[in-house]
Amino acid sequence: MGNGLLNLSWFYLLLLAQRGAELLLCARNRRRLLARGGREHAPRSYRGMVALHLGFLLLLAIEAYPFTVPGDLLTWSLLAGYGLVQLLRYWAIWSLGDFWNTRIVVIPGTRRIRTGPYRWMRHPNYLAMTLEFAIIPLLLRTPTTLLLFIPLLLVTLRRRIALEEEALGKGADFDTHSRAN
């Protein structure tokens, strides 16, 4: 572990590819859920989530360019932390299967998944997202992105989680842990 400089442009490109792949997965899952009688709740709230992520990625790129950071213990620790967060993120996605979505789509009468990280928490994907919004700017040494987007994310998630809980309460067997994201 030397103290030279590392170029993390590959990390940013990987992040973009990851988000793109997730959007494709969400589109597929949304089609499947709607075909099975699912109902989308608060579709306009999705715009806010998209705007938040686009703003985050744009400011991150502007502030991080040329993506060069010290090859120090902090960098390697944050990369390892990011990897662990991705394990949580993809465990949550895998546990929900076709029910995972960035939109709020609930099939009436279904039950909440109680496997994987959903055994212990209602929204593990949002925990992973919050940790990402902290780790990524720290890794790329972008303090403005960190200080601006952590509060914006928390406000957005507060509203988003309330909308999801409301949708689950209306559309599924909520008290027995309804199935949805």
pLDDT in tens, the chain (181 residues): 556 899 999 999 999 999 999 999 999 999 999 999 999 999 999 999 999 999 999 999 999 999 999 999 999 999 999 999 999 999 999 999 999 999 999 999 888 888 999 999 999 999 999 999 999 999 999 999 999 999 999 999 999 999 998 988 864 444 433 344 4
pTM of the predicted model, to two decimals?
A: 0.88
Q: For 65-142, where are the alpha helices, taking DSSP H only? A: 73-96, 124-139
- Cα-Cα-Cα-Cα torsion 90, 91, 92, 94, nearest 10 degrees, comes to 80
Domain boundaries, the chain: 5-176
Q: What is the CATH number of domain 5-176?
A: 1.20.120.1630
**Residue 158: Cβ-neighbour burial (10 angstroms; 0-12, 13-18, 19+):** exposed
Count CA atoms closer than 13 A to 171's CA, side-chain side.
Answer: 22
- Lookup result for tokens 């997965």: 25
Q: Where are the beta strands (DSSP E) in the chain?
A: 5-7, 39-41, 68-70, 104-106
